[in-house]
Amino acid sequence: MTAVRYEVRHGIATLTLAEPENKNALNARIINGLGDGLSAAAADEAVRVIVVTHEGTTFCAGADLKGGGPAETPRYSFPDVLAGIQDSPKPVVAVLRGHCMGGGVGLAAAADLSLASTDVTFGFAEVRIGVAPAMISVVRLPKLSRADAAELFLTGRRIAAARAAEVGLINRAVAPPDLDNEVRALLDEIVAGGPQALAATKMLLSSVPALSRSEAFAFTQTLSTELFRSSEAAEGIAAFRERRPPAWMPS
Protein backbone atom coordinates (compact mmCIF):
# COMPACT_ATOMS: atom_id res chain seq x y z
CA MET A 1 0.00 0.00 0.00
CA THR A 2 1.29 3.46 -0.94
CA ALA A 3 1.78 5.71 2.08
CA VAL A 4 1.44 8.86 -0.03
CA ARG A 5 -0.66 8.75 -3.20
CA TYR A 6 0.50 10.94 -6.09
CA GLU A 7 -1.88 12.13 -8.80
CA VAL A 8 -1.71 14.87 -11.44
CA ARG A 9 -4.85 16.34 -13.01
CA HIS A 10 -5.37 19.65 -14.80
CA GLY A 11 -2.00 20.99 -13.71
CA ILE A 12 -2.52 20.10 -10.04
CA ALA A 13 -0.33 17.48 -8.34
CA THR A 14 -2.06 16.05 -5.28
CA LEU A 15 -0.07 14.29 -2.55
CA THR A 16 -2.46 12.41 -0.27
CA LEU A 17 -1.22 11.07 3.07
CA ALA A 18 -2.76 7.61 2.99
CA GLU A 19 -2.09 5.84 6.30
CA PRO A 20 -5.25 6.83 8.19
CA GLU A 21 -4.99 3.77 10.44
CA ASN A 22 -1.72 5.26 11.75
CA LYS A 23 -3.12 8.81 11.74
CA ASN A 24 -0.69 9.65 8.92
CA ALA A 25 2.10 9.85 11.48
CA LEU A 26 5.54 10.85 10.23
CA ASN A 27 7.37 7.60 9.63
CA ALA A 28 9.88 6.76 6.88
CA ARG A 29 7.07 5.67 4.54
CA ILE A 30 5.21 8.97 4.77
CA ILE A 31 8.37 11.08 4.64
CA ASN A 32 9.74 9.16 1.64
CA GLY A 33 6.40 9.48 -0.13
CA LEU A 34 6.27 13.22 0.45
CA GLY A 35 9.87 13.64 -0.70
CA ASP A 36 9.28 11.62 -3.86
CA GLY A 37 6.05 13.44 -4.62
CA LEU A 38 7.54 16.91 -4.15
CA SER A 39 10.49 16.00 -6.37
CA ALA A 40 8.24 14.57 -9.09
CA ALA A 41 5.95 17.59 -9.05
CA ALA A 42 8.83 20.06 -9.17
CA ALA A 43 10.30 18.30 -12.23
CA ASP A 44 6.99 17.98 -14.13
CA GLU A 45 6.37 20.97 -16.41
CA ALA A 46 2.67 20.09 -16.53
CA VAL A 47 2.35 20.66 -12.76
CA ARG A 48 1.46 24.21 -11.78
CA VAL A 49 0.52 23.79 -8.12
CA ILE A 50 0.98 21.09 -5.47
CA VAL A 51 -1.73 20.09 -2.97
CA VAL A 52 -0.90 18.18 0.22
CA THR A 53 -3.95 16.56 1.80
CA HIS A 54 -4.92 13.34 3.56
CA GLU A 55 -7.23 10.40 4.11
CA GLY A 56 -8.99 9.87 7.44
CA THR A 57 -9.87 12.11 10.36
CA THR A 58 -6.28 13.19 11.06
CA PHE A 59 -4.16 15.21 8.67
CA CYS A 60 -0.97 14.20 10.47
CA ALA A 61 -0.38 13.15 14.08
CA GLY A 62 3.26 14.24 14.09
CA ALA A 63 6.10 11.84 14.86
CA ASP A 64 5.25 8.14 14.69
CA LEU A 65 5.57 7.20 18.37
CA LYS A 66 3.84 3.82 18.02
CA GLY A 67 5.72 2.38 15.06
CA GLY A 68 4.18 -0.55 13.25
CA GLY A 69 3.69 -1.27 9.59
CA PRO A 70 6.38 -2.38 7.15
CA ALA A 71 9.84 -0.97 7.74
CA GLU A 72 11.30 1.30 5.09
CA THR A 73 14.77 2.76 4.68
CA PRO A 74 14.69 6.57 4.98
CA ARG A 75 15.62 8.39 1.78
CA TYR A 76 14.66 11.83 3.05
CA SER A 77 14.73 13.50 6.44
CA PHE A 78 11.81 15.53 7.75
CA PRO A 79 13.80 18.76 7.26
CA ASP A 80 14.32 17.67 3.63
CA VAL A 81 10.54 17.57 3.20
CA LEU A 82 9.95 20.93 4.91
CA ALA A 83 12.70 22.52 2.80
CA GLY A 84 11.29 20.83 -0.30
CA ILE A 85 7.92 22.47 0.32
CA GLN A 86 9.42 25.90 0.86
CA ASP A 87 11.97 25.67 -1.98
CA SER A 88 9.61 24.16 -4.55
CA PRO A 89 9.19 26.46 -7.56
CA LYS A 90 5.53 25.43 -7.58
CA PRO A 91 3.15 26.86 -4.95
CA VAL A 92 2.22 24.30 -2.27
CA VAL A 93 -1.28 24.30 -0.76
CA ALA A 94 -2.12 22.24 2.34
CA VAL A 95 -5.75 21.17 2.73
CA LEU A 96 -6.70 19.89 6.19
CA ARG A 97 -9.96 18.12 6.86
CA GLY A 98 -8.65 16.40 9.98
CA HIS A 99 -6.71 17.12 13.13
CA CYS A 100 -3.09 18.19 13.03
CA MET A 101 -0.40 17.62 15.65
CA GLY A 102 3.33 18.26 16.07
CA GLY A 103 5.17 17.74 12.80
CA GLY A 104 1.87 17.89 10.96
CA VAL A 105 1.60 21.54 11.99
CA GLY A 106 5.07 21.93 10.48
CA LEU A 107 3.76 20.65 7.14
CA ALA A 108 0.82 23.07 7.27
CA ALA A 109 3.05 25.99 8.25
CA ALA A 110 5.67 25.19 5.59
CA ALA A 111 3.06 25.27 2.81
CA ASP A 112 2.63 28.54 0.97
CA LEU A 113 -1.10 28.48 1.65
CA SER A 114 -3.07 26.32 4.09
CA LEU A 115 -6.81 25.92 4.40
CA ALA A 116 -8.44 23.93 7.19
CA SER A 117 -11.94 22.92 8.11
CA THR A 118 -13.24 24.82 11.12
CA ASP A 119 -13.69 21.57 13.06
CA VAL A 120 -9.96 20.78 12.86
CA THR A 121 -7.80 21.19 15.94
CA PHE A 122 -4.06 21.83 16.03
CA GLY A 123 -1.83 20.44 18.75
CA PHE A 124 1.41 21.70 20.28
CA ALA A 125 2.01 18.78 22.60
CA GLU A 126 5.79 18.31 22.34
CA VAL A 127 6.55 19.61 25.83
CA ARG A 128 4.03 17.16 27.30
CA ILE A 129 6.05 14.18 26.13
CA GLY A 130 9.36 15.66 27.22
CA VAL A 131 10.61 17.11 23.94
CA ALA A 132 10.54 20.49 22.18
CA PRO A 133 9.07 21.60 18.83
CA ALA A 134 12.60 21.83 17.47
CA MET A 135 12.73 21.17 13.71
CA ILE A 136 9.28 22.51 13.02
CA SER A 137 10.09 25.76 14.83
CA VAL A 138 12.12 26.68 11.72
CA VAL A 139 8.92 26.92 9.67
CA ARG A 140 6.54 27.85 12.48
CA LEU A 141 8.35 30.77 14.11
CA PRO A 142 8.44 33.03 11.03
CA LYS A 143 4.63 32.89 10.98
CA LEU A 144 4.08 33.58 14.70
CA SER A 145 4.67 36.53 16.98
CA ARG A 146 6.98 35.70 19.88
CA ALA A 147 4.06 36.03 22.30
CA ASP A 148 1.88 33.59 20.36
CA ALA A 149 4.77 31.15 19.89
CA ALA A 150 5.59 31.21 23.60
CA GLU A 151 1.96 30.65 24.59
CA LEU A 152 1.39 27.79 22.17
CA PHE A 153 4.76 26.04 22.51
CA LEU A 154 5.05 26.24 26.29
CA THR A 155 1.50 25.21 27.18
CA GLY A 156 1.24 22.27 24.78
CA ARG A 157 -2.42 23.10 24.29
CA ARG A 158 -4.69 22.32 21.38
CA ILE A 159 -6.22 25.17 19.43
CA ALA A 160 -9.09 25.43 16.97
CA ALA A 161 -8.54 26.12 13.29
CA ALA A 162 -9.92 29.63 13.71
CA ARG A 163 -7.22 30.37 16.30
CA ALA A 164 -4.57 28.84 14.02
CA ALA A 165 -5.65 31.23 11.27
CA GLU A 166 -5.73 34.16 13.70
CA VAL A 167 -2.09 33.67 14.72
CA GLY A 168 -0.95 33.00 11.15
CA LEU A 169 -0.19 29.27 11.18
CA ILE A 170 -2.71 28.74 8.39
CA ASN A 171 -4.37 31.13 5.98
CA ARG A 172 -8.01 30.35 6.53
CA ALA A 173 -10.45 28.26 8.53
CA VAL A 174 -13.45 27.29 6.40
CA ALA A 175 -16.79 25.70 7.31
CA PRO A 176 -16.70 22.01 6.30
CA PRO A 177 -19.43 22.26 3.61
CA ASP A 178 -17.55 25.14 1.95
CA LEU A 179 -14.01 23.77 2.03
CA ASP A 180 -14.01 22.04 -1.37
CA ASN A 181 -15.31 25.16 -3.14
CA GLU A 182 -12.80 27.40 -1.35
CA VAL A 183 -9.93 25.10 -2.32
CA ARG A 184 -11.09 24.92 -5.94
CA ALA A 185 -11.38 28.71 -6.16
CA LEU A 186 -7.92 29.16 -4.65
CA LEU A 187 -6.32 26.68 -7.06
CA ASP A 188 -8.02 28.37 -10.01
CA GLU A 189 -6.49 31.68 -8.93
CA ILE A 190 -3.02 30.20 -8.56
CA VAL A 191 -2.91 28.45 -11.95
CA ALA A 192 -3.87 31.74 -13.60
CA GLY A 193 -0.38 32.98 -12.75
CA GLY A 194 2.58 32.31 -15.03
CA PRO A 195 4.85 29.43 -13.90
CA GLN A 196 7.97 31.60 -14.00
CA ALA A 197 6.18 34.41 -12.17
CA LEU A 198 4.95 32.07 -9.44
CA ALA A 199 8.45 30.68 -8.89
CA ALA A 200 9.90 34.18 -8.75
CA THR A 201 7.23 35.28 -6.28
CA LYS A 202 8.01 32.32 -3.99
CA MET A 203 11.67 33.36 -4.14
CA LEU A 204 10.77 36.93 -3.18
CA LEU A 205 8.76 35.74 -0.18
CA SER A 206 11.75 33.82 1.20
CA SER A 207 14.63 36.09 0.12
CA VAL A 208 13.58 39.71 0.54
CA PRO A 209 12.92 39.67 4.33
CA ALA A 210 16.54 38.59 4.94
CA LEU A 211 18.02 41.48 2.88
CA SER A 212 18.78 45.05 3.83
CA ARG A 213 16.68 47.66 2.06
CA SER A 214 19.44 48.57 -0.41
CA GLU A 215 20.15 44.89 -1.13
CA ALA A 216 16.44 44.21 -1.58
CA PHE A 217 15.98 47.06 -4.06
CA ALA A 218 19.02 45.97 -6.07
CA PHE A 219 17.89 42.34 -6.12
CA THR A 220 14.27 43.09 -7.01
CA GLN A 221 15.17 45.65 -9.70
CA THR A 222 17.31 43.07 -11.49
CA LEU A 223 14.65 40.40 -11.11
CA SER A 224 11.88 42.70 -12.35
CA THR A 225 13.91 43.63 -15.44
CA GLU A 226 14.55 39.97 -16.25
CA LEU A 227 10.89 39.05 -15.82
CA PHE A 228 9.58 41.92 -17.97
CA ARG A 229 11.97 40.85 -20.75
CA SER A 230 10.86 37.21 -20.61
CA SER A 231 8.71 35.42 -23.16
CA GLU A 232 6.26 34.59 -20.37
CA ALA A 233 5.70 38.28 -19.67
CA ALA A 234 5.28 38.97 -23.41
CA GLU A 235 2.59 36.29 -23.58
CA GLY A 236 0.89 37.52 -20.40
CA ILE A 237 0.76 41.13 -21.58
CA ALA A 238 -0.49 40.07 -25.03
CA ALA A 239 -3.20 37.93 -23.45
CA PHE A 240 -4.25 40.84 -21.22
CA ARG A 241 -4.50 43.20 -24.20
CA GLU A 242 -6.36 40.64 -26.32
CA ARG A 243 -8.66 39.66 -23.47
CA ARG A 244 -7.89 35.95 -23.74
CA PRO A 245 -6.43 33.33 -21.38
CA PRO A 246 -2.62 33.13 -21.51
CA ALA A 247 -1.03 30.08 -23.11
CA TRP A 248 0.10 28.73 -19.75
CA MET A 249 -3.43 28.13 -18.47
CA PRO A 250 -3.94 24.36 -18.02
CA SER A 251 -6.74 22.74 -19.97
Q: For residue 176, what is the DSSP state? A: G
Q: Is the pLDDT of residue 55 over 90?
A: yes
pLDDT tens readout for residues 70-106 = 789 999 999 999 999 999 999 999 999 999 999 999 9
Helix (H) or strand (E) holding 128: none
Mean pLDDT of 39-64: 96
**Radius of gyration (C-alpha) of the chain in whole angstroms:** 19
Tell me the CB-side half-sphere exposure of residue 121, using CA atoms within 13 A: 8
b/e sequence 168-187, b meaning 16+ C-beta within 10 Å: ebbbbbbeeeebeeebeebb
Helix (H) or strand (E) holding 250: none
Output the pTM of the full model: 0.95
Report residue 251's pLDDT band, with 50, 70 and 90 as the boundaries.
confident
Mean pLDDT of 175-203: 97
**Which of 84, 117, 113, 86 shows the shortest CA–CA distance to 99?**
117
Q: Are 107 and 82 in contact (CB under 8 A)?
A: yes
Q: Quick one: pLDDT at residue 102?
A: 92
Rounded CA-CA distance 32/27 in Å is: 8
Dihedral pair phi/psi, residue 159, rounded to 5°: -130, 155
